[in-house]
Chains A and B, each alone.
Chain A
Amino acid sequence: MNFTESQSLFRRAAAVIPGGIYGHTTPAATIPGAVPYFAASGNGCRYRDVDGNEFIDFMGGYGPMVLGYHHPEVEAAAEAARRRGAAFNQPTPLLVELAEKLVARIDFADWAVFGKNGGDLTTWAVQVAREATGRPKILKIAGAYHGADAWCTPGHGGLIPEDRAHIHDFSFNDVAALQALFAKHRGQIAGLILTPFHHPAYADSQLPTFEFVAMANLLCMEHGALQILDDVRCGFRLTTDGSHTLYGYKPDLAIYCKALANGHPISACVGRSGLKAAASRVFLTGSYWNDPAPMAAALACLAIIARDNIPQKLARTGQRFVDGFLALGVKHGIPLVASGPPAMPYVRVANDPSFLRMQHLCAAAIAHGVFLHPHHNWFISAAMTDADIDEALQRLDQAMTTLAR
């Protein structure tokens, strides 16, 4: 596969942009040299890079493209709003409509606010928890991603010890560790921030145990700490009404983003009525946060997710793909391990602590037109038909044949 234009663009980028491409889409985090660096266009579950290579896409922009690229209903709604104007002096009625939609959709939600990215609102939710409780400390899952702000960034640059002075990590599903932290910091804990399931990079996904969820709910209630559910990656992908209903969490605040508007920039935080006053005291704004087009896209996307029961479709399609992929592994003598919900599976080569075999497998998949990430969970798109999955598996069969040689 030819990546000449990608690499040429990257050389220009590296001259004028720190990192060339920064953040989670940096080639450095994938398989440099074996992946496209720049995208050009997308439709449905496929996209083209700047060299004209086409891929069946199992990342979907790292999550946002839940319905696939260029979904006609979402795009029509966004375009209609865009034609009326952007970033007015005031919000448009879409702000109220979208808040009402989320409050109606999510069982514990009494109010909603909006940002652009998940991290905008995980950070804001942490502030709301501190404002509501008057306490400083936040407990979080070790290795969980909540954004790029100082309290939670996985990066190392520009931090000072004080940034994390009141952030305390525990291992996911470790009930004893969670209890110990609550006991150690009794009266100091503002909030417990969780992801519905643990989906770290470079490691298997872990579904929550019943005991862990029950203890998280109990400890937050007993200690008067807020439970903050970072549903940015999973929200509206596993259920139509927030992932807490699937696993039994009792959140006070929850943040949604990736599947909210099918690629249009918007995030949301919802909360219980008792937190509304505290939330009103935590300043929240951004230049583009009232922009109506993404709100129109979110309204359309949420409607489609409910109307077409998208989570059920994602689960079925994902299961078809995972089953087929694992079977190919058996056929080619490449032992594969799958974890996480089928709608967002994490697959790796077994007994491969260096990830080298997985990196080679993903490079071969990409060379055969199937975009897979070697270290991150994948995202199934509702645009994928059974035929798309079968075609992807056929290509992966060929890719694995080249590896076996």
Chain B
Amino acid sequence: MTDAALKAALYLEAVLPALAHLAPHDEELRRAASGPRAFAVWLTVRGGSVRRLSFSADGLIATGTTPQPGDLRLWFPSANQFLRTMANRPALALPVGGWNSLGQVRRFSAAGARLETILNTRADSHLRLHAWGNVLVGVAAACAWLRHHPAQRAGLNGAGVIACPDFPAPIWFDADALTWGLGEPPVHPTVRITFANLSVVLAELDNRLDAPAALGLGDLKITGLQPLAEKLGLVMLKAGKLLKPATSN
């Protein structure tokens, strides 16, 4: 798998699904995604991943992988073309169905722009969502990364929860099923990672957290199978390094 194909997969499997989780907590995102009627876009990258995003009239967003009749179907001839689109650069995207929804595609673009603002900028108004959204995307990207690198799954077993009192909801992951979600995992967690507050999360996102010291001080708590947290963190780091240049374009 090329870096471009992998990056496209991470966008489709990890970054764009974050829209669905962030929308209920961000009025600007809902406003951007709202429109006169429900609308859905089905994204396909040639030889790669797929993603369906559906937008309700009031701007709530759902995500899935199965197309529905009436979806605007956008086909990207390559991962690079898809990534150019994600970076708001001229790209070739062929509408292959649902043409009568073409006029609604601006909602997808506007929601994407708001997502980029939330994930890549820090302002008091969305700092909580910035931190939560980045952890959420990081966990989702780690799961996606491992789906595409099965050899790197060795030793990554069990489920975990990442929590912070400032998060809208804890984020869970299941390293066996490579699934993730909000709240408590469907299986008993083997590790629980708790950040004391937003500043600890932000320090971790900036790669400036002295984690062992934070653990000793109680700013960060990891109970249970600590190696699982460490291994997931390493995968998140790899995925983040691949995604970050694109998100900062």
Contacts of A354 in B (CB 8 A): 158, 188-191, 224-225
Encode A177-216 as 1/0 by CB contact (under 8 A) with B: 0000000000000000000000000100000000000000
Encode B201-238 as 1/0 by CB contact (under 8 A) with A: 00000000011110111100111111100100010000
**B189 and A26: CB pair below 8 A?**
no
**A20 and B189: CB pair below 8 A?**
no
Contacts of B189 in A (CB 8 A): 354
**B217 and A29: CB pair below 8 A?**
no
A375 to B222, CA, bound (A): 14
**B224 and A355: CB pair below 8 A?**
yes
| B219 nearest CB across to chain A (Å) | 9
**B223 and A359: CB pair below 8 A?**
yes
**B224 and A21: CB pair below 8 A?**
no
- Chain B CB within 8 A of A10 CB: yes
- Chain B CB within 8 A of A19 CB: yes
**B215 and A27: CB pair below 8 A?**
yes
**B225 and A14: CB pair below 8 A?**
no
**A33 and B218: CB pair below 8 A?**
yes
**A20 and B212: CB pair below 8 A?**
yes
- Chain B CB within 8 A of A356 CB: yes
**B213 and A20: CB pair below 8 A?**
yes
**B212 and A19: CB pair below 8 A?**
yes
| A5 nearest CB across to chain B (Å) | 14
- Chain B CB within 8 A of A22 CB: yes
| A206 nearest CB across to chain B (Å) | 16
**B210 and A18: CB pair below 8 A?**
yes
**B234 and A156: CB pair below 8 A?**
yes
Q: Which A16-39 residues sit within 8 Å CB-CB of chain B? A: 17-22, 26-29, 32-33, 37
**Given that A14-B210, A353-B190, A354-B190 are known contacts, is A20 also in contact with B217, CB under 8 Å in the complex?**
yes
**B223 and A14: CB pair below 8 A?**
no
**Given that A354-B189, A354-B224 are known contacts, is A14 also in contact with B216, CB under 8 Å in the complex?**
yes
B: interface residue count bin = 20 to 34
Interface centre among B213, B217, B224, B226 (most CB of A within 10 A): B213
Q: Which residue of A lies closest to B218 (CB)?
A: A33
Encode B162-197 as 1/0 by CB contact (under 8 A) with A: 000000000000000000000000001111000000
A375 to B227, CA, bound (A): 11
- Chain B CB within 8 A of A11 CB: yes
Contacts of B225 in A (CB 8 A): 202, 353-355
A89 to B189, CA, bound (A): 58
| B92 nearest CB across to chain A (Å) | 36
**A14 and B213: CB pair below 8 A?**
yes
Q: Which residue of B lies closest to A201 (CB)?
A: B227
Q: Which of B158, B191, B216, B227 contacts A32 (CB 8 A)?
A: B216
**Given that A353-B158, A354-B158 are known contacts, is A22 also in contact with B212, CB under 8 Å in the complex?**
yes
Contacts of A353 in B (CB 8 A): 157-158, 190, 225
Q: Which of A21, A355, A356, A375 contacts B216 (CB 8 A)?
A: A21
**B216 and A20: CB pair below 8 A?**
yes
Contacts of B224 in A (CB 8 A): 354-356, 359
| A9 nearest CB across to chain B (Å) | 10
Encode A292-321 as 1/0 by CB contact (under 8 A) with B: 000000000000000000000000000000
Contacts of B218 in A (CB 8 A): 32-33
Interface centre among B218, B222, B224 (most CB of A within 10 A): B224
**B227 and A202: CB pair below 8 A?**
yes
Contacts of A156 in B (CB 8 A): 230, 234
Q: Which residue of A lies closest to B231 (CB)?
A: A156
A143 to B223, CA, bound (A): 21
Interface centre among A10, A29, A33, A356 (most CB of B within 10 A): A356
| B196 nearest CB across to chain A (Å) | 12
Q: Which of A14, A17, A356, A359 contacts B217 (CB 8 A)?
A: A14
Interface centre among B157, B212, B223, B227 (most CB of A within 10 A): B212
| B226 nearest CB across to chain A (Å) | 7
**B223 and A356: CB pair below 8 A?**
yes
A20 to B216, CA, bound (A): 8
**Given that A353-B158, A354-B158, A354-B189 are known contacts, is A19 also in contact with B213, CB under 8 Å in the complex?**
yes
Contacts of A28 in B (CB 8 A): 211-212, 215-216, 222, 226
A28 to B234, CA, bound (A): 17
A262 to B157, CA, bound (A): 38
A353 to B188, CA, bound (A): 10
Contacts of A17 in B (CB 8 A): 213
Interface centre among A13, A22, A28, A354 (most CB of B within 10 A): A354
Q: Which of B216, B226, B234 contacts A37 (CB 8 A)?
A: B216
**A11 and B210: CB pair below 8 A?**
no
Contacts of A22 in B (CB 8 A): 212
Going nearest first, the 3 A-B pairs with the smallest beta carbon separation are A19-B212, A28-B215, A354-B190
- Residue contacts A-B, CB under 8 angstroms, 25 given: A10-B217, A18-B210, A19-B210, A20-B210, A20-B217, A21-B212, A26-B215, A28-B212, A28-B216, A28-B222, A28-B226, A32-B218, A33-B218, A156-B230, A156-B234, A202-B225, A353-B157, A353-B158, A353-B190, A353-B225, A354-B188, A354-B191, A354-B224, A355-B224, A356-B224
Which residues in B have some Cβ–Cβ distance to A below 8 Å? 157-158, 188-191, 210-213, 215-218, 221-227, 230, 234
Known: A359-B224, A375-B226. 15 other contacts (CB 8 A): A13-B213, A14-B217, A18-B210, A20-B217, A26-B215, A28-B215, A28-B226, A37-B216, A353-B157, A353-B158, A354-B158, A354-B189, A354-B224, A354-B225, A356-B223
